Structure 1
Amino acid sequence: MPDVEPGVIWTRPQRTGRGPRPAHSREEIAAAAVRVADADGLDAVSMRRIAAEIGAGTMSLYNYVPRKEDLHELMVDAVSAEYDLTAEPGDDWRANVLRLAADSRDLMRRHPWLLRLVDSTAYGFTPNAMRWIDHFLAGLEPLRVPPGTKMELLATVNATVTAYVTNELATAEHARSLPWTPEQEQAVRAAYLTDRLATGAYPHLAAVLAAASAEPVDYEAFFARAIGRVLDAFALEEPPEPASRTEA
């Protein structure tokens, strides 16, 4: 691996070094890395594997992507282009945020490896990621809070979506690993829980579960409520509307 210095890949030329016209593009390299990660996980993304995917030598790939971290950044940027930012934000800032949160959830479910990269600030300001951030902030124009608070809202929504999808994917992975059906697993655990609650050792839990609906959980509605409660907290920071002259 050649020596490299700290830097941002977007400020570097498409290919370092002298020689003929580059045979590969960053877009091609990123697309190959995303395909590998989608199929086999982020740990399968190595410089050797991606070089083989695009038909290049491993060492020559470093001329295009000096570090593995740069490769990860290209991947984040590539999938960030999947956001649909064509619709103009409406006057309802809550609706704007909920739509973008739902889009983020879908993106992370399509690319589960993204969960391991979104927590890093190193990958938060790629060109396509910045377009998404700018669109998010445009949707917050009607919210009357300081700019710093809006960035906190964005970070909190992202953290909520990430936690929600992490749980969704872990639950799905657990279900796939079972040698029996999820329904059989739930039945056994429900019987155990019922037996434990009958001892009277957990009165508060028993009361809550007794009052809970027996209907299956609507996870789409649950997600919307979770994001809505985050937004409720930020809405409280808006200053009160000034009284009109008539009211005064």
Structure 2
Amino acid sequence: MAGRSDEPQVIWARPERTGRGPRPAYSRADIAAAAVRIADADGMDAVSMRRVAAEIGCGTMSLYNYVPRKVDLYELMVDHVSGEYDLSRPPSGDWRADMTYLAHQARAIMRRHPWVVRIMSSVHGISPNALRCLDWCLAALEGLDVPPGTKLELFGMVNGSVMTFVANEQAVAERVRSAPWSAEREQAVRGAYLAGQVATGAYPHLAALFAQGVAPEGDADATFDRMLRRLLDSFAPK
């Protein structure tokens, strides 16, 4: 297979196309955009080298000259959607506001491209758009008096928390879509079951919580903002 190597390789360190010959007919941006279109339309399982090659109009084996491995294709895809962050405005000087601004963008991107949470990982953190985003964040965190490594942890934890939140939203939405009844009906049935279990006395601490009138927050946006506030609070100097 073209481009095969027994040594680790970084797709960004490679030329746009391996080998000699005429100017490449396609760019990585073309390939990434095609793969993203397929994933957006038909899900991540539909993304294959054969399908992407057909989308851009080249042979499957020719595509390997541009993207040696499927994991490289995934990296191109994550970088492509990471380019959707709006980093045109400079950091405001309020690190909390800036990180909240970025987190809301991350949630919106993951909602537009639901497959992202499935393939995103820390190994994608050295792609051009990921580095651009990280650099913006570090500029935003200049006013936060914590060690540099802690700032990196903050960036990673915000991103990871957003991914987990969106993944849960997707799982709930998928359950609703696949059910033959309404979301309200399922929630009512589950609520009744929970109330019955609490009433048995087997869960005294949970019963005490509910006796105080505490109920799960139903507004996903409010829950998201509360999660962010608590996370950012944990990084504020004491």
TM range (shorter): over 0.9
Counting only pairs closer than 5 Å after superposition, residues 106-117 of structure 1 correspond to structure 2 as 106-117=108-119
Would the aligned equivalents of 2:110 and 2:116 in 1 still touch at CA under 8 Å? yes
User: Are residue 30 (structure 1) and residue 32 (structure 2) matched?
Assistant: yes
Q: How many residue pairs get matched? A: 236
Equivalences for 1:229-244 in 2 at 5 Å? 229-236=230-237
Q: Is 1:74 matched with 2:76?
A: yes
Q: What amino acid is the match of 2:188? A: A
- Residue 88 in 1 paired to residue 53 in 2? no
Match of 1:138 in 2: 139
Task: In structure 2, give the amino acid aligned to 1:31.
Answer: A
1:241: which partner in 2? none
Aligned to 2:53: 51
Distance 1:216 1:160 in 2: 18
Cα RMSD between the aligned structures? 1.7
Answer yes or no: is the 8 Å Cα contact 1:117–1:123 preserved in 2. no
Matched, 1:100 2:82: no
CA contact (8 A) 2:91 2:140 kept: yes
Distance 2:54 2:213 in 1: 54
Q: Which position in structure 2 is the counterpart of 1:246?
A: none
Partner of 1:244: none
How far residue 213 of structure 1 moved from its aligned partner, in angstroms, is 5.7
* Distance in 1 separating the partners of 2:232 and 2:152: 13
The 2-side partners of 1:186 and 1:143 are apart by 42
When residues 227 and 184 of structure 1 are mapped into structure 2, their CA distance, relative to the original with a 3 A threshold, is same
Q: Which amino acid in the other structure matches residue 61 of structure 1? A: L
Q: What letter matches 2:164 in structure 1?
A: A
TM-score normalised by the chain length of structure 2 = 0.93
**What CA deviation, in whole Å up to 9, does each residue of 1:45-104 have, x standing for no partner?**
111110011110000111111111111111111111100001111121111111111111
Divergent runs of 4+, >4 A: 213-216
AA of the residue aligned to 2:229:
G
After TM superposition, list the pairs within 5 Å mapping 1:1-248 onto structure 2: 1-5=1-5, 6-119=8-121, 121-212=122-213, 217-236=218-237
TM-score, with structure 1 as normaliser:
0.89
Kindly provide the CA deviation profile for residues 91-138 of structure 1, in whole angstroms up to 9, marking residues without a partner as x: 21111111111111111111111112222x321110011100111111
Residue 126 of structure 2 aligns to which amino acid in structure 1?
A: F
Give the AA of the match of 1:43: D
C-alpha distance in structure 1 between counterparts of 2:31 and 2:18, whole Å: 15
Q: Which amino acid aligns with 1:141?
A: E
User: Equivalents in 1 of 2:123, 2:216: separation in Å?
Assistant: 43
Letter in 1 for 2:118: R
**C-alpha displacement at 1:170, in angstroms?**
0.5
Q: Point out where structure 2 has 5 or more consecutive residues left out of the alignment.
A: none
The residue matched to 1:226 in structure 2 has which SS?
helix
Q: 1:215 to 1:206 in 2, by over 3 A?
A: closer
Shift of residue 185, structure 1, vs aligned partner: 0.9
- The percentage of aligned residue pairs carrying the same residue is 61
Which has the greater radius of gyration?
1
1:141-199 superposed Cα distances (whole Å, 9 cap, x missing partner): 11011101100111111111111111111011111110111111111122222222222
Structure 1 regions of 5+ residues with no counterpart?
Answer: 239-248
